[in-house]
């Protein structure tokens, strides 16, 4: 069994700083690719792609959840959702338990749009990694680190999500 020595506060701060430095650069690349190549031949903004991805992970979510996820006001989220409904990418349904809540779901076209966008972005990221002539060890380090970050922050996100639902 492997044992790890605990990191000091300084060590965790250095790792945190590295994450803060790397995340915006990677996200800028991803955003630039989403903007550059509209999936399916139709223009879809980065915010719209984020909404579609959120709804894919949280079918039947509410407008409030979208608003909170994007960090925008409800009227702005409502306008965005209205455009996605008009474009046939999502549907709005009424919550039987609370008729004031709208439940949002992807249409088959919305599902295809988010899947195309994701596949295109994965291809772009894979090309960048291939162009850098990284070793198998380096690729495994990146994959392992990203998997660990996803695990850590997904757990926190899920805990916050469950807490918010309990407070409603």
Q: What is the CATH number of the domain that holds 79?
A: 1.10.10.10
Domain that holds residue 146: 134-168
Terminal CA-to-CA distance of the chain, rounded, Å? 44
Entry pTM: 0.75
Q: What is the pLDDT of residue 43?
A: 63
Q: What average pLDDT does this structure show over 73-100? A: 90
Q: Are residues 49 and 114 in the same domain?
A: yes
34 within a domain of the structure (yes/no) = no
Where b means 16+ CB within 10 Å and e means fewer, 114-148 reads: bebbbebbeebeeeeeeeeeeeeeeeeeeeeeeee
The helix or strand, by DSSP H or E, that contains position 157, with its residue range, turns out to be helix 136-167
DSSP state of 134: -
Give the distance from CA 78 to its chain's centroid.
Answer: 19
Sequence-ordered list of residues with C-beta below 8 angstroms from that of 72, at least 6 positions apart, any chain: 80
92 within a domain of the structure (yes/no) = yes
124 within a domain of the structure (yes/no) = no
Q: Are residues 75 and 108 in the same domain?
A: yes
Q: What is the number of structural domains in the chain?
A: 2
9 within a domain of the structure (yes/no) = no
Q: Are residues 101 and 140 in the same domain?
A: no
Q: What is the pLDDT of residue 68?
A: 92
Q: What is the pLDDT of residue 1?
A: 45
Strand bridging mode 61-62 / 90-94: unpaired
């Amino acid at each position: 069994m492997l044992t790890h020595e605990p990191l000091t506060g300084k060590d965790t701060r250095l790792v945190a700083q590295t994450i803060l430095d790397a995340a915006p650069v990677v996200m800028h690349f991803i955003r630039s690719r989403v903007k550059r190549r509209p999936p399916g031949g139709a223009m879809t903004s980065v915010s719209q792609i984020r909404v579609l991805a959120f709804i894919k992970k949280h079918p039947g979510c509410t407008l409030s959840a979208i608003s909170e996820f994007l960090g925008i006001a409800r009227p702005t989220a409502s306008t965005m959702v209205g455009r996605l409904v008009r474009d046939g990418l999502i549907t709005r349904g009424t919550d039987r338990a609370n008729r004031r809540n709208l439940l949002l779901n992807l249409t088959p076209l919305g599902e295809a749009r988010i899947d195309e966008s994701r596949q295109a972005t994965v291809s772009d990221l894979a090309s960048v990694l291939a162009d850098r002539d990284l070793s198998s060890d380096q690729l495994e380090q990146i994959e392992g680190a990203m998997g660990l970050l996803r695990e850590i922050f997904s757990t926190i996100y899920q805990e916050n999500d469950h807490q918010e639902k309990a407070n409603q």
